[in-house]
Each structure stands twice: as structure tokens, then as C-alpha cells.
Amino acid sequence: MSPSAGGADQLVGERLGLKPGMVVQELGWDEDVDDSVRVAIEDTIDADLVDGDYGDVVDAVPASDVAEAAPIAGLSNTTTIPISVDWSATKLVAPKTR
């Protein structure tokens, strides 16, 4: 599928493994955000993104701070994919044995 104006293809949410009903948290929103990525994710989950003040468990958080904190939380970085011209996303997983 071709990229939209901001550079994200319309299947970015599916490529990230997101599904309707998931809660996705957005941290560090600023003027440089790629709105096409946001819209593609919101379309996939059929909901708005939640912000840093959200006080419950989330299914996904696309932020570099998370990648740095992952090992501290006992998680591992797995796949990194480009989601638009200037942005990429990294999947984190828990170890299979704890």
C-alpha cells in the first residue's frame, strides 16, 4: 500500500500487531509528530491514543524511552520496523520463562 502524505502506510497498525480494542499510549507528543502514523494506529485500534496521564495498563507504547527502560523491566527488544519516513517502532517481549 502506498504511503500517505506524512509517510505512514495505511497498514502501519497491522504491521505493528495492533488490533481493535487495544490501548496504545503516546508519550512525548510534539510538533514533529507524524499525524499519518497516529491516524493509522487509531484506525486500527478503533480508538484514540491515550497520553502519559493514563493510569491503567496499556498494550503498546511507541517511544524511545521505553526501549531504554525495557531491560530494567525484564523485557527484550525484538523487531524494529519503519512506520513512516522519519519514524520506526520496536516490539518488546517478555521472556518465555520467568
Q: Which residue has the cell 510538533?
A: 31
Tens place of pLDDT per residue across the chain (98 aa): 444 444 556 688 888 889 999 999 888 788 888 888 889 999 999 999 999 899 888 888 876 667 777 888 888 888 888 888 877 788 888 877 75
pLDDT of residue 63: 64
Distance CA 86, CA 72 (A): 27
Which residues contact residue 97 at a Cβ distance below 8 angstroms, ignoring those fewer than 6 apart?
A: none
Are residues 97 and 74 in contact, defined by beta-carbon separation less than 8 angstroms? no
Task: State if pTM tops 0.75.
Answer: no
78: which DSSP letter?
E
